[in-house]
A and B are shown apart, each in its own frame.
Chain A
Amino acid sequence: MSESNEPEILFGIYCPPHPQPLLSPDASAGYGKLRAAFDECRRRIEESEADIILVYSTTWASIIGHQIQALEKAVWTHVDDDFHYLGSMPYEFAMDTEFAHAMKANCEKRGLEARTVEYEGFPIDTGSVVALQLLNPENRIPACILSSNMYANRAETIVLGKAARDTLAAQGKKAVVVVVSSLSNRMFTEHIDPAEDRIHSQKDDDWNRKILEFFGDGRLEDLSQLSRDIHGQIRVQKVVAYKPAWWMAATMGQHNNYDGEVLAYEALHGSGGAVITLTPASGSVGDKEFDEDDVEFYRGDRNVLDKGMLE
């Protein structure tokens, strides 16, 4: 733990959930580049002194609050719903149970509904499986996976990130933070030749490149502030908001003091897949004054509909 009682985040990784970099990296040059970027991240993790890999996965949707994977040894063979023909993904992951239980307690202290899951055969999602298989194949470092609540919006997600900071600081663990998410997430709706994969539209590609520019400059809090715009512009409306940048900023620190590096940006069946690292640094970039308020404690629904009714 650092002297300021702040958590020690070694670096963050933003990576895509699709299975192609794991199962078919040779099917296209782009998939191969993404795989190489994952491999580079794996190497950096191995050379780091990380005590835990903390994963926030957008492909693990939850309803009852925020779920935290706590099974000490999670073993199964996963198959993706869409890309089942690419093959199976057997896995055996080591989870940091101590962290998971403390994370639950810290979520509750900040007003969040949360629970751990410790069940043999629990279906760990494609994104988490891909990330942990590629980033930590030998289970050298224990992990923990957090779900993405489908109804959660900004306040809840920010507070979830702060609960993660609380937990890391309290346990004095050095962390690599991993966010599993696409950039633009519109895939082609027909089967394609992987060799001809491309971003679904020019608009998606333009937005992706703007986001990558921000990441490259280390402007994580700026991206957090832009999340609602990103959701409206390039995200298929499957959930209420684009949340990964909110959680990543709240967990790593809500500022722009990072060294950003875009290791790869390629299409994954039309969606935008990027492998990016953010390393805490001293310099800062950006000229924005943020207009989204910060939040420390989640107080639930405001019951607006029950207030101010005409007599």
Chain B
Amino acid sequence: MADGQKGQIVAGCLAPHPPHLVYADNPPENEAYSEGGWETLRWGYQRLARKLKNIDYDAIVIFTPHWQTYIGTHFLGLPQFKSKSVDPVFPNLFRYNYDLTVDVELAQAMHDEAAAQGIITKMMKNPDFRVDYGTITSCHLLNPEWDKPIVTISSNRNTHYYSPEVMVEQATALGRACAKAIEESGKRVVLVASHSLSHRHFVEEAPLPEDMSREHIYNHSQYVWDMKIIEMMREGKSREVIDIMPEFTEQTIAETEGGGLIWMLGAMGYPEFPAEIYGYQSVIGTGNVVACWDPNDETREYVL
């Protein structure tokens, strides 16, 4: 334990990763160029990024559904990854040159603690491995300077292999293991669950992808479900969010199926304080909310 201090989770962020948001931002790392778009989400992200700048933390630990593993949970296990991430679904929007550092010590600690608790795990040590675009997108939007090391955790596909209920059990157990490892590390960590809420896409794209006159939720049912989940987040009912998660996932083809939010709220001990809501908007039909759980009573805000 560093300096004898217990490590802690200083924030938990629900950070959706539509590559459209990076595309709309036109950072120099991305090759594609846009005229903007999806400002409600991007401005929300920018405000959350400013908040994180004022929080003292050592690393970002991100759980991504776009590193899909069927044989256990995997952790990035090399100190640096530099390459180009091209989105396999939206390559016209996202071709991002990244150069990131990994907190391997923390990754190994979480891996070891999860393994000790019976969870199937693997460290990923192939230097040619390409970091997934979910990690890149969420981390870029939360910390565009990339001045903090990250740890990426893969999504073990329990929902598909078993059921959403099994995912709740498995991702919660993983969250608890990660929380224990963080506490023992002495580090201050921001957790990130990288995913949308409802996740039914349109299968056609506007000629100009950022044409906001074409953007809306896929159907009203998804919207109503998303609002219900966000309302519960606002009320601090994170345990209830998890309880209703299997039905939400099935009804809205939600990206919660990957387990990220379950993992994060499990690691944070199902917070009973309100989540900060930074913005909600659809992207190619899917429902996306930027939210933060700030355990510090003095810095927690009512944002929207």
Interface check B160, CB cutoff 8 A: yes
Q: How far is the CB of A80 from chain B (nearest CB, A)?
A: 9
Partner pick for B89 among A63, A85, A87, A121, CB 8 A cutoff: A63
Contacts of B271 in A (CB 8 A): none
Q: A79-B128, A189-B161 are in contact. Are A119 and B91 (CB under 8 A)?
A: yes
Contact indicator A269/B71 (Cβ below 8 Å): yes
Q: A81-B69, A119-B95, A236-B160 are in contact. Are A189 and B128 (CB under 8 A)?
A: no
B residues with CB within 8 A of A: 67-72, 74, 84, 86, 88-92, 95, 120, 122, 124-126, 128-130, 154, 156-157, 160-161, 201, 203-205, 284
Contact indicator A81/B68 (Cβ below 8 Å): yes
Q: How far is the CB of B199 from chain A (nearest CB, A)?
A: 10
Q: How far is the CB of B292 from chain A (nearest CB, A)?
A: 28
Contacts of A120 in B (CB 8 A): 84
Contact indicator B71/A191 (Cβ below 8 Å): yes
Interface check A195, CB cutoff 8 A: no
Instruction: For the complex, give the distance between the alpha carbons of A88 and B129 in Å.
Output: 8
Instruction: For the complex, give the distance between the alpha carbons of A63 and B120 in Å.
Output: 30
Number of residues in A with C-beta < 8 Å to the partner?
A: 35
From residue 47 to 86 of chain A, which have CB atoms closer than 8 A to chain B?
A: 60-65, 77-79, 81-82, 84-85
28 pairs across A/B with beta carbons < 8 Å? A61-B88, A62-B89, A63-B203, A64-B89, A64-B203, A65-B204, A77-B128, A79-B128, A79-B129, A81-B68, A81-B69, A82-B71, A84-B74, A84-B126, A85-B125, A87-B126, A119-B91, A120-B84, A121-B86, A122-B86, A149-B203, A151-B201, A187-B71, A188-B71, A189-B156, A190-B71, A190-B72, A191-B120
Contact indicator A191/B72 (Cβ below 8 Å): yes
Contact indicator B160/A237 (Cβ below 8 Å): yes
Instruction: For the complex, give the distance between the alpha carbons of A125 and B88 in Å.
Output: 9
Interface check A186, CB cutoff 8 A: yes
Partner pick for B70 among A82, A121, A122, A149, CB 8 A cutoff: A82
Which 8 pairs show the lowest CB-CB distances between chains A and B? A88-B128, A84-B126, A79-B129, A121-B84, A119-B91, A77-B128, A121-B86, A63-B89
Contacts of B129 in A (CB 8 A): 79, 84
Contacts of B90 in A (CB 8 A): 64
Interface check A113, CB cutoff 8 A: yes
Contact indicator B122/A191 (Cβ below 8 Å): yes
Contacts of B86 in A (CB 8 A): 119, 121-123
Q: How far is the CB of B53 from chain A (nearest CB, A)?
A: 31
- How does the 8 Å CB contact mask read for A238-254 relative to B, with 1 for contact and 0 for none? 10000000000000000
Q: How far is the CB of A43 from chain B (nearest CB, A)?
A: 30
A residues with CB within 8 A of B: 60-65, 77-79, 81-82, 84-85, 87-88, 113, 117, 119-123, 125, 149, 151, 186-191, 236-238, 269
Nearest residue in B to A236 (C-beta to C-beta)? B160
Q: How far is the CB of A295 from chain B (nearest CB, A)?
A: 17
Q: A64-B90, A64-B204, A85-B122 are in contact. Are A189 and B70 (CB under 8 A)?
A: yes
Contact indicator A189/B91 (Cβ below 8 Å): no
Contact indicator B205/A60 (Cβ below 8 Å): no
Contacts of A60 in B (CB 8 A): 88
Contacts of B69 in A (CB 8 A): 81-82
Contacts of A269 in B (CB 8 A): 71
Q: Which of A122, A188, A189 has the most CB of B within 10 A?
A: A189
Known contacts A85-B125, A122-B88, A236-B161; 19 additional CB pairs below 8 A are A64-B89, A64-B203, A65-B204, A78-B128, A79-B130, A81-B68, A81-B154, A82-B70, A84-B124, A84-B125, A85-B122, A113-B203, A121-B86, A122-B91, A149-B203, A151-B201, A189-B72, A189-B161, A190-B120
